[in-house]
Structure 1
Amino acid sequence: MPLTHTGINKLQPSNTSIATKRPDKHSDGNGLQLWVRYTGVKSWISAYRWQGKQQTLTIGTYPIMSLQNARQRNIEIKRLIADGVNPKDDKKKTQADNDGSRAFDTIAQRWHDDRKAHIAPTTYSRDYSQYQRDIKPFIGHMNIEDITAPDILAIGKSIEARGAADMARRAIRQTGQIFKQAIREGLTNLNPANDLTEALKPHKVKHHSRITSQQLPKLLQDINAYDGDLLVKLGLWFLCYTFVRTQELRFMEWSEIDYKAKIWRIPADKMKMDRPHLVPLAPQTMAILEQIKALGFSDQYVFFNTSTRKPYSMNAFITALWRMGYKGRMTGHGFRGLASTTLHEQEFMHEAIELQLAHEKENKISKAYNGAQHLPYRTKMMNEWAKFIDDAYAGKIDNLIRADFKQQAQKHG
């Protein structure tokens, strides 16, 4: 039975395909097949016989190549066979005739190669794997100037359909970065990936478990009494003082620390929002860094797992919190929520708090982003926050609404 657009849109990888990683094959007739791969990618395949042997040729992906266009291309392949031309030889000739340097995949490979020496291995592996899995099959073969916004959006939509909304946004952002590479090289003037994330489903806020403000003094005392890995313990203190994401903490490098300015300069490729971030370092955090530096574990990473010789795994800090009895009650991300709530309650400037949290906001703050915006104010705010953490640990406050803290916030505002 011939395929239909409605039927194709409903097709999903079968359990067998997912288990065996072999595609499900759906026939349209006349040798045209649609292979639904275990990743969800739908590829058009033309099956034919050449010199007595069964052959297959990939001719495109759905929905970038429509059903009608796939049928037309399949007819062209049959005509080549009738004329005594092997369709695969014709495809190779066509590819050779095209300028390979303008192919999206060629540019993407250069972009990934350039980044490899400057980013964490896990970040490179994550991004390159996503490119190979989710982006290249759709547009890797296309000329950079032939790719349109709908082509890129189709990539995001296909990933979104798997229930991976964050990955869909990341794929579109990566595609946009590759287009920026092409613009720098003079291969194109446009970036069709701009603003496409707005066409995806609204991002659902995930609330991470965290303690209440009244429980903060007890948590800080438990962290100080933690008898596990020393660098994990110091890392938890660093999260308390800076409320960065654990991902950013895990891959923190000594080269990113500006000792003179007392600022941690996180490069864009390590940030969730793909833009550089500045973290003012209070005296307490500088003291932690000096303590770690004296241990001499790693010349590259700050929070270094001496057992694996690599940065800590994503579970290192959450596991430590669980060992302290905070399973289901507190996460590494919870320090961010706690700081945000408290600083807002104490009437620090909302814009400065959001900038320090490196939040993505669809407003004037993000669209005209400047990493140094309100930096003197943020530095004072971070110093006040560090003093507040110390007072909470020392038990000098009964709750987080403290008169002098509030007055200090108003003074800075």
Structure 2
Amino acid sequence: MPVTTPLRITVVGGGIGGLAAALAVARSGHHVTVVEQAARFGEIGAGLQLAPNASLALEELGVLPAVQHTAVAPPRLVMMDALTGNQVTALDLRSAAYTERFTHPYLVTHRTDLHAALLTACQEHPDVTLRTGHTVTHAEQDGSGVHLHFAEPHAPLIADAVVAADGLHSPLRRALVGDGEPVCSRYVAFRGALPTERMTGPMSRHAASEAVMVWAGPRMHLVQYPLRRGELYNQVAVFESDHFTPDSDDWGTEAELEERFAGTCQAVRDALPLVSRDRRWPLYDRAPIDNWVHGRIVLLGDAAHPMLQYLAQGACQALEDAVALGRALGRSGDPAEAFNAYADQRRERAARIQTNARRFGELCHLEGMGATLRNMLLSSRGPDEFDDISWVWTPATTPVPAL
């Protein structure tokens, strides 16, 4: 049934997924409160890639122009062999074939810029209330609503329904699903953005090209692309640690980073000293689950389907979630009905991307003869051949074909 009486929806988590969900739900006619545990809204990290499925979602949320103001539309996606320095394959993102197939642009942006665009849109929407310093400890629900309790001395918050967008280590998911902690892949990332003018010598050629560069090597890779109108250059060095132990944080060190990349080509070795070492990021995911909906509480984004970064779809899938949730709540004022419709639309696609992100990571990190065969296979692909990635970049309005 169409919405007649606005619901009071609380979104737990003020990251990209949470703000996108709040905006989508408010635009569908409901009152939304976002509760964030941090003292202020913000994002950490560096760059992220927004494939055309994400650009479509941002357009539907009304924030695509704001994101495009600072984003870069790279002309190509390029895979290089990190050992030889030779190009393996590339896709042309400005060709007629791309535009006819996908319509919406492929963008790269700083996480803080995307978050700021969503935050501004939420601040300007009359039906969105933003609260910081609210750490959810537990939720109690009955047939009429949900009571959220907080670690801080705030009164419980009563909502008709709750969206858990509280990230990879979601306390709400842990309480509702009970599947323990995320799975560590044994890989870590060192990432950050620096002023583009610091990319000097041979590295400046790649920076000037504005392409997304992926240097694939044995159990490691380096990603590079420009950010913020080309003023910044994003670099992410990823590698598998030989010293991983689940009960220790003493693995994936800078010394291991240097050791793993020691045999790479000159271009990669030149870039490595400029990779940010301020923080190391262990990479986690989870196996897909079916139970996103728990009464009047529903999971969204990394709380529902955390995935490895190898298809560059983590934020993209959270944005797709937000749009689907907003549409479902626009069609029905019954939270259970709307949540189940949203989960039914999103569950299979998100699970497929989760599992294939792992597979693409394995492909990227092949060694020896496996890498040689990969390069031979991919080198035969033309720059306008999108068949193997189109299902990822196209939101599922109809069932996707099996692999």
What TM bracket, shorter-length normalisation? under 0.3
**TM-score normalised by length of structure 1:** 0.25
Bigger-Rg structure (1/2):
1
Greater relative CO (CA pairs within 8 A, separation 6+): 2
Structure (1/2) with the larger strand percentage: 2
Structure (1/2) with the larger helix percentage: 1
